[in-house]
Amino acid sequence: MKQYQLSTGEKKFIGSHLLVAILALAVGSLFGPLQAFEHAGWDFYPYLKPFIKSYYQGLTVHGVLNALVWTTFFIMGFLTFNVMFGLKRPLKNMTLNKVGFWLMVVGVVAAAIPILANQATVLFTFYPPLKANWAFYLGLTLVVVGSWVEGWGLFMTYIAWRKENPNERTPFIAFASIITALLWQICTLGIATEILTMLLPWSLGLIENVDPQLARTYFWFTGHPLVYFWLLPAYISWYAMLPEQAGKGKMFSDSLARLSFWIFLVLSTPLGFHHQYVDPGIPPAWKFLHSMLTFGVFFPSMMTAFTVVASLEHAGRKNGGKGALAWIGKLNWSDPSVAAQLLAGILFFFGGIGGLANASYNVNLVLHNTAFIPGHFHLTVATGVTLSFMGISYWLLPYLTGKKLWNPKVAVAQAWTWFVGMIIFSNSMHVLGLLGAPRRVPLGLAPYVPAEWNSRLFQVGVGGAILFLSGALYLTVMLMTALNKEKVAEEVTVPIAESMQDLSHTPEWLDRWAPWVYGTLALIVIVYGPQLFDMIKNIALTSPGFRVW
Amino acid sequence: MSTKQMHIDPYERNWMIFSAILLVLFATAVSVAAFGMGIQVPAPETRVDPRTVAVDPNSPWSNPGLREIEPGKYDAYILAHAIPNWEYLPKEITVPAGSSVSFYVTSGDVQHGFKIQDTNANFMVIPGQVSKLTVKFDEPGTYNFICTEYCGSGHAIMYGAVIVTP
């Protein structure tokens, strides 16, 4: 059966997302290893002085480009692909989506200029009253607004499809992508409010002071669901593409996959206080409530773990795998897209366990802002998500360009080096955190570092070196594929794992939007409303800005 | 559209039940630690004006330091500041072993962190807010407190110490 085909123009549009994403990753990832090397005592920052003034400026570049730009551009491109391919129709209004994309590009450039000029060394959390140049805040706003506009384009496309196909179940990849885009629209209201009501007018000199505690609260309204915005596209691939790639496996349970996406939508926003357990300005009762909801959002991840592993097992047994675990060896490990995503999933599992520790209210007292935290999110966003996206790009780039993937063996090696490097890096960061090492500190310069940290700091550097190699391999494979003269034999087949059950088994209530969306908004009002109202009522605009870098 | 029952595999049902039990267990453990054993996170204290907190004569942080409330019980008023040279005031406090110290920490400029090594005390220091936690020091020794939030180019050198004498 012939698959639905995207037009050349549509492929180019998706491809431009991928291009910006990979450029951001290329620059941002240069600085990751530099930070790791600094920890090990090999500080290269003094040699970079003409361009990059400090460790902190490098850290800002790394955080903004990798965590915000690489992810957002890759995700918007991937979601757009999923909606078109899943619904088998073009976008309702391609111009609108293009406007969104270009707004995002302009935003990245606007934010990059002050960052590179050392006018916005505020890290990717930009907590006031650290005060960056206005262009930084404006740029971030444009990135968010651009992603909204692209999201609206996806919603319009879905609505048009629904009118044309009133009785059909929404195909899974389109369904899950629309939920991801919707989650993003809801949760970014926090950061938009923070920037538009405080930081942007403040940086422009229109208001003199801000309320840092309130700003943090707006920020974390967005900050946690942000991680689900990163994660859900990887889940889409793990659920509905990876089993097919790994050995023609099918999706074990379509209904529960959909249910888990709905639970993510409902629960991922109203729990942001779990990033603020040790903030002075929020009553413990609200923090505790958010901690319980954080445990709740772990549930759909557990469901995902089951369905994905069961679907992979189906693939492994189809490939002739036997035994309780031996089928794992029969998955298509030689396919770099499969290897990358399987390895990403394995490390993500450990990232999830560490996340439970962070979420555990008072346990967090031992972990808050220690090296445990970057150790944790390098397993989640920097591996579970990033290595999966790399894996996706190993089939997506050939699909979009019609060019053969350059040297799949190198690509497989890339996945494994990322896996090994990240284990070394992340494990030592976790241990350092438990020993009390703070995050965001050039520990090579810190006067309070005890000797017992040294062996772990060395391992951080070793992990960083392996990751640097892996990043270089990835960029080489991408570049050489883009330049490859060898075309793919025929059109690349998009890997889609069909559901094991007939779609008529998927109940209708899983395809109704209103109850879930209203439920999401209601829950946010209940668990955020009273405290946020109180903080806004008692707003204290008393903090002038500081440029202390 | 059909309204058939949702298909759930028995294995998957058991896994979901197991997951739910696991999460309830974790939540219970955290709750017992919080409410039974009293391991609590910071709660709102007073609010202050960060522009005057270090100079206003009515502000305890205009004269930061240790105050003995009763034998073995202390209040420590600590000011965190990035300007001019990234430090805590006072940089060092000394108490005898067995003391219970309530830390009241605020910032005169940007956000900082405050983590006392080898204790459960770890919190954000946010301008305009006062962060408070109480720590009992039973073992003699030097307990560094370090800044755990990025606060500008001197962030890495920002620390102080509680010295617990025998």
What pLDDT does residue B151 have?
A: 97
Question: Are residues A541 and A209 in contact, defined by beta-carbon separation less than 8 angstroms?
Answer: yes
Catalytic annotation present for A378: yes
User: Among A338, A180, A368, which Cα is nearest to A258's?
Assistant: A180
Mutate which: B115, B150, B151, vs A, most A CBs within 10 A: B150
The whole-chain average pLDDT of chain B stands at 94
Distance from CA of B68 to the nearest CA of A (A): 24
SS3 B78: strand
**Is residue A264's pLDDT more than 90?**
yes
Q: What is the chain A residue with the closest CA to B128?
A: A542
Share of chain A above pLDDT 70, in %: 100
Share of chain A above pLDDT 90, in %: 94
pLDDT, tens only, B38-68:
888 999 999 999 999 999 999 999 999 999 9
Confidence of residue B7 (pLDDT cuts 50, 70, 90): confident
Question: Are residues A239 and A260 in contact, defined by beta-carbon separation less than 8 angstroms?
Answer: no
Q: What is the DSSP string of A230-244?
A: HHHHHHHHHHHTHHH
**Is residue A539's pLDDT more than 70?**
yes
Contacts of A276 in chain B (CB under 8 A): 124
User: Which residues on adjacent β-strands are paired with residue A517?
Assistant: none
**Is residue A465's pLDDT more than 70?**
yes
What pLDDT does residue A502 have?
A: 82
Q: What are the φ/ψ torsions at residue A280 (nearest 5 degrees)?
A: -70, -25
Q: How far is CA A283 from CA A221, A279, A297, A464, B131, in A?
A: 16, 9, 22, 39, 12
Token pair of B49 as six digits: 């004006």
Distance from CA of A195 to the nearest CA of B (A): 18
Catalytic annotation present for A258: no
Do A212 and B156 count as a contact with CB atoms less than 8 A apart? no
SS3 A106: helix
Q: How far is CA A14 from CA A4, A18, A425, A524, in A?
A: 16, 7, 33, 33
State the CB neighbour count (10 A cutoff) for residue B150. Answer: 28
**Is residue B20's pLDDT more than 50?**
yes
Distance from CA of A417 to the nearest CA of B (A): 31
pLDDT, tens only, A170-206:
999 999 999 999 999 999 999 999 999 999 999 999 9
Confidence of residue A1 (pLDDT cuts 50, 70, 90): low
Lowest mean pLDDT of A256-270, A358-372, B5-19, name the range. Answer: B5-19
- For residue A37, give the H/E element and its range: helix A8-40
pLDDT, tens only, A134-154:
999 999 999 999 999 999 999
Q: Helices in A93-211 by DSSP H: which ranges?
A: 94-116, 134-164, 172-187, 189-194, 200-203
**Is residue B1's pLDDT more than 50?**
no
What is the residue extent of each domain of chain B?
1-40, 60-165
Q: What is the DSSP string of B97-159?
A: TTEEEEEEEEESSS-EEEEETTSS-EEEE-TTB-EEEEEEE-S-EEEEEE--S--STTGGG-E
Confidence of residue B5 (pLDDT cuts 50, 70, 90): low
**Is residue A2's pLDDT more than 90?**
no
Q: Quick one: average pLDDT of A432-441?
A: 96
ipTM for the predicted complex comes to 0.95
User: Among A327, A267, A281, A324, which Cα is nearest to A534's?
Assistant: A281
**Is residue A342's pLDDT more than 80?**
yes
Confidence of residue A505 (pLDDT cuts 50, 70, 90): confident
Catalytic annotation present for A127: no
Q: How far is CA A400 from CA A90, A177, A271, A407, in A?
A: 15, 19, 38, 17
Q: Residue A67 and residue A386: Cα distance in Å, rounded?
A: 9
What topology does CATH give the domain A8-537? Cytochrome C Oxidase; Chain A (1.20.210)
User: Among B81, B20, B66, B64, which Cα is nearest to B163's?
Assistant: B66
Catalytic residue among A439, A456, A468, A528: A439
CATH of B60-165, one of 2.50.20.10, 2.60.40.420, 3.30.930.10, 3.40.50.620: 2.60.40.420
Task: Give the closest of A213, A255, A447 to B126, CB-based.
Answer: A213
pLDDT, tens only, A344-400:
999 999 999 999 999 999 999 999 999 999 999 999 999 999 999 999 999 999 999
What pLDDT does residue A508 have?
A: 87
Lowest mean pLDDT of A94-98, A217-221, A491-495, name the range. Answer: A491-495
Catalytic annotation present for A372: no
Contacting residues for A94 by C-beta, under 8 A, at least 6 apart = A9, A10, A13, A153
Catalytic annotation present for A376: yes
pLDDT, tens only, A8-17:
999 999 999 9
Whole-prediction pTM: 0.96
Do B120 and A362 count as a contact with CB atoms less than 8 A apart? yes
SS3 B75: strand
User: Which residues on adjacent β-strands are paired with residue B135?
Assistant: B101
Q: Residue B140 and residue B165: Cα distance in Å, rounded?
A: 5
- Rounded to 5 degrees, what angle do the CA atoms B141, B143, B149 make? 175
Q: Residue A341 and residue A336: Cα distance in Å, rounded?
A: 8
Question: Are residues A289 and B140 in contact, defined by beta-carbon separation less than 8 angstroms?
Answer: no
Do B47 and A504 count as a contact with CB atoms less than 8 A apart? no
Q: How far apart are the first and last CA of chain A?
A: 60
Do A129 and B39 count as a contact with CB atoms less than 8 A apart? no
Catalytic residue among A13, A158, A221, A377: A377
What pLDDT does residue B2 have?
A: 44
The whole-chain average pLDDT of chain A stands at 96
Do B7 and A255 count as a contact with CB atoms less than 8 A apart? yes
Do A212 and B30 count as a contact with CB atoms less than 8 A apart? no
Q: For chains A and B, count residue pairs whose Cβ atoms are closer than 8 Å.
A: 222
Catalytic annotation present for A425: no
Catalytic annotation present for A399: no
Q: Residue A285: how many CA atoms within 13 Å on its side-chain side?
A: 3
Token pair of A495 as six digits: 């890997």
Contacting residues for B67 by C-beta, under 8 A, at least 6 apart = B74, B75, B76, B77
Q: Quick one: average pLDDT of A84-112?
A: 97
Contacts of B146 in chain A (CB under 8 A): 436, 438, 446, 448
